[in-house]
Amino acid sequence: MRIPILRIGRILLASIQVEMSDSDALRFQNDVVQKIAEIEALGIAIDITSLEVVDSYMARVINDTATMARLLGAEVVVCGIQPYVAMTLVEMGRDLIGANCVFDLEQALLRLQERIAARGDADLDKGS
């Protein structure tokens, strides 16, 4: 099951709408990194509203993906973590999600735009 990664100007949008297997998650990570590099994305929003379970492995993949995106030069915002998922992650004893988080996609896009604007180095509409 491949997670579609949409492009709006130089911002990417990935909404995980299905339960992912571990291999789906790794493929997603790979696709995100490739796509960011390909279009020199300024930012990416990763929506995990539909994920009902985020265990230590999935949390690590999301974390790593965010770090990889940052290393490439893109801003990253994760949105839509379910309340029970947040509870479970913390109860498991780790702050596993190290990425910047907001409630929903709308806030994610606003946050990305703010952060990109603060960098002051990019034209949102021009691909490269």
Q: Which of 7, 27, 60, 115 binds other proteins (CB under 8 A)?
A: 60
User: Where in 18-37 is the site for other proteins (CB under 8 A)?
Assistant: 19-24
Cα–Cα distance measured from residue 10 to residue 116, given in angstroms and rounded to the nearest whole number:
10
Q: What are the φ/ψ torsions at residue 16 (nearest 5 degrees)?
A: -85, 110
Q: Does 52 interact with other proteins (rule: CB under 8 A)?
A: yes
Q: For the chain, give percent helix, strand, coil, nearest 5.
A: 45, 15, 40
The HSE-up count of residue 126 (CA atoms within 13 Å, CB side) is: 4
User: Where in 68-87 is the site for other proteins (CB under 8 A)?
Assistant: 82, 84-85, 87
For residues 53 and 117, which CB has a smaller minimum distance to other proteins in the complex?
53
Q: Does 67 interact with other proteins (rule: CB under 8 A)?
A: no
For residues 96 and 124, which CB has a smaller minimum distance to other proteins in the complex?
96
Q: Does 50 interact with other proteins (rule: CB under 8 A)?
A: no
Q: Which of 4, 30, 94, 117 binds other proteins (CB under 8 A)?
A: 94
Helix axes 56-72, 22-39, angle to 10 degrees: 10
Whole-Å CA distances, 119 to 43, 83, 93, 123: 11, 31, 34, 11
Residues that bind other proteins (CB under 8 A): 19-24, 52-58, 60, 82, 84-85, 87-88, 91-94, 96
